[in-house]
């Protein structure tokens, strides 16, 4: 069984089970039927994001006091897998909304929290983020210096998704280049002379995500818009834990590819196709069970994080091989842009580098770079 069928709960509270049911319904009825069109669109359709908000999913991570679901990781993972398996780019835009929600929920800036958190939770405003560049070595990409009443921000964020879709971004800047990290709330303003966006980046996958390079040139951030300041070493430690967790989106790609592979097996009656589907389904179930069991231990010691990274790499590998199996079973038709096989291959490749760290890169390469000797007689 790749995932509990609709209507089957996972032992969570009824309101959390209803969220999962809603996610599966939106995935099946709205996202999946339009996935190939959305993949080729200029931007994710606003009605996709609206239906996710109306289903209550924008408040997935928000605290109950602002109308959120405060869903536990066990529920969030299954919601993510369902949505990512249906339409990768819609999921990619939507999932980033939850980072500013969590950051504002934990913020000591009560005024900022009151201004935005309930609006984000209700789906009135979509959130976005800009902080992946903190993982890069070398000089800081975006820096902030203190001035009277706030901060001046300069630099370039090389990868900002949902520009033109999100109404609020949580943006990271290093203070003075070598100090803590300043996180601030940015409300996009097309007329701003101090914040400029490039044209949407041409991407092999997630092209409809409206991802841009964002340039800051003397952008003034008031103290009222500061979400938090975090010691950079502490941020890296938290990020090391977060990026070691299993990747539900990759597992969603694998589950969808295997489901379509089973359909192909039924259509063709080819033993090789049905055998591949059975083998991959069993491996995905094993990977999901073992990975989530590790994650639910809640440990953060080095040995445990290494096992988590290895499990995450396993999930990425299963996704890639499942999508490739679907291509092989489909044949030349898989190269048509209207066929889901080629999209799933590209999405699996994308998830292998999204939130990639040096440890995950090494674990991924260790899994795939296994020389196979040629067959001998």
Q: What is the CATH number of the domain that holds 338?
A: 1.20.140.10
**Which of 74, 95, 116 is at the close of a domain?**
95
Host domain of residue 64 = 14-95
Are 178 and 213 part of one and the same domain? Answer: yes
Query: Could you say which DSSP state residue 242 is in?
Result: H
Q: Do 38 and 137 lie in a common domain? A: no
Residues 248 and 358 in one domain: yes
Last residue of a domain, one of 230, 261, 288: 230
- What is the pLDDT, as a whole number, of residue 40? 97
User: What's the token pair of residue 292?
Assistant: 């989530």
- Does 197 lie in the same domain as 166? yes
Cβ within 8 Å of residue 309, ≥6 positions away: 244, 357, 359, 360, 363
Res 369: pLDDT? 86
Give the pLDDT confidence of 19-48 residue by residue, as tens digits. Answer: 999 999 999 999 999 999 999 999 999 999
pLDDT > 80? residue 309? yes
Same domain, 254 and 298: yes
| pLDDT single digits (tens) 189-243 | 876 899 999 999 999 999 999 999 999 999 999 999 999 999 999 999 999 999 9
At residue 5, the pLDDT reads: 33
If asked whether residues 265 and 286 sit together in one domain, one would say: yes
pLDDT the model gives residue 14: 65
Query: What torsion do the CA atoms of 209, 214, 220, 225 make, to the nearest 10 degrees?
Result: 30
Structure tokens at 114: 């009151």
| Distance separating the N- and C-terminal Cα atoms of the chain | 39
Question: Above pLDDT 70, what percent of the chain?
Answer: 94
With respect to residue 271, please indicate whether it lies within any of the assigned structural domains.
Answer: yes
pLDDT at residue 184 greater than cutoff 50: yes
Q: What is the pLDDT, as a whole number, of residue 182?
A: 97
Looking at the domain assignment, is residue 31 inside a domain? yes
190 and 248: one domain?
Answer: no
Residue with tokens 């609709």: 6
**CATH code at 208?**
2.40.110.10
Answer with the one of 71, 95, 119 that is the final residue of a domain.
95
Q: How confident is the model at residue 13 (pLDDT cuts 50, 70, 90)?
A: low
Q: Are residues 187 and 264 in the same domain?
A: no
pLDDT of 375 higher than 90: no
* pLDDT of 368: 86
Confidence category of residue 9, pLDDT binned at 50, 70, 90: very low
Q: Residue 32 phi/psi, 5° resolution?
A: -60, -45
Decide if 207 is inside a domain.
yes
* Whether residues 269 and 347 fall in one domain: yes
Number of domains present in the structure of the chain = 3
3-state secondary structure of 233: helix
Same domain, 269 and 192: no
| pLDDT score of 340 more than 50 | yes
User: Which residues face 154 on adjacent strands?
Assistant: 143, 217
- Mean of all residue pLDDT scores within the chain: 93
Tell me: pLDDT of 296 over 90: yes
Summarised one tens digit per residue, pLDDT across range 60-103 is 999 999 999 999 999 999 999 999 999 999 999 999 999 999 99
Distances 324 to 5, 228, 258, 285 between C-alpha atoms, Å: 25, 43, 10, 18
Mean pLDDT along residues 107-115: 97
Q: What is the pLDDT of residue 303?
A: 97
CA distances to 204, 278, 320, 364 from 314, in Å: 23, 18, 10, 8
Q: Cα separation of 256 and 91, whole Å?
A: 14
> Does 257 fall in a domain?
yes
Shared domain check, 312 and 202: no
The answer to whether 139 and 108 are in contact (CB under 8 A) is no
Kindly state whether residue 353 falls inside one of the protein's structural domains.
yes
Q: How far apart are CA 331 and CA 318, in angstroms?
A: 20
Please list, in sequence order, all residues whose beta carbon lies within 8 angstroms of the beta carbon of residue 343, skipping any fewer than 6 positions away.
Answer: 35, 36, 39, 88, 205, 337
Domain membership flag for residue 108? no
pLDDT at 311 over 90: yes
Domain-embedded: residue 107: no
**Mean pLDDT calculated for residue range 244-252:** 97
Residue 263 in any domain: the answer is yes
Do 250 and 225 lie in one domain? The reply is: no
CATH number at residue 57: 1.10.540.10
């Amino acid at each position: 069984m790749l995932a509990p069928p609709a209507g089957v709960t996972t032992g969570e509270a009824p309101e959390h089970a209803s969220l999962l049911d809603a996610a599966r319904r939106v995935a099946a009825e709205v996202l999946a039927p339009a996935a190939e069109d959305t993949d080729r669109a200029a931007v994710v359709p606003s009605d996709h994001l609206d239906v996710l908000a109306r289903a209550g999913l924008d408040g997935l991570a928000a605290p109950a006091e602002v109308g959120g679901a405060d869903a536990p990781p066990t529920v969030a993972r299954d919601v993510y897998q369902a949505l990512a398996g249906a339409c990768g780019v819609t999921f990619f835009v939507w999932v980033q909304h939850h980072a500013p929600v969590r950051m504002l929920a934990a913020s000591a800036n009560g005024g900022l929290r009151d201004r935005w958190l309930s609006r984000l939770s209700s789906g009135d405003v979509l959130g976005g983020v800009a902080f992946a560049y903190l993982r890069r070595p070398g000089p800081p990409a975006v820096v902030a210096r203190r001035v009277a009443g706030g901060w001046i921000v300069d630099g370039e964020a090389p990868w900002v998704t949902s520009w033109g879709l999100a109404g609020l971004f949580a943006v990271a800047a290093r203070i003075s280049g070598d100090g803590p990290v300043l996180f601030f709330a940015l409300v996009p303003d097309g007329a701003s002379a101090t914040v400029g966006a490039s044209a949407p980046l041409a991407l092999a996958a997630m092209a409809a995500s409206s991802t841009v390079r964002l340039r800051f040139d003397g952008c003034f951030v008031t103290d009222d818009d500061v979400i938090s300041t975090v010691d950079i070493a502490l941020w890296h430690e938290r990020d090391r834990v977060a990026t070691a967790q299993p990747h539900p989106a990759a597992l969603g790609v694998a589950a969808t590819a295997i489901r379509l592979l089973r359909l192909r097996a039924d259509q063709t009656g080819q033993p090789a196709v049905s055998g591949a589907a059975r083998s991959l389904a069993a491996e995905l179930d094993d990977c999901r069970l073992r990975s989530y069991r590790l994650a639910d231990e809640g440990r953060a010691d080095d040995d445990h994080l290494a096992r988590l990274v290895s499990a995450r790499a396993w999930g990425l590998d299963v996704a890639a091989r499942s999508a490739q199996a679907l291509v092989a079973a489909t044949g030349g038709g898989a190269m048509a842009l209207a066929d889901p096989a080629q999209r799933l291959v590209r999405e699996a490749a994308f998830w292998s580098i999204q939130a990639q760290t040096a440890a995950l890169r090494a674990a991924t390469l260790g899994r795939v770079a296994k020389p196979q000797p040629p067959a001998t007689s």
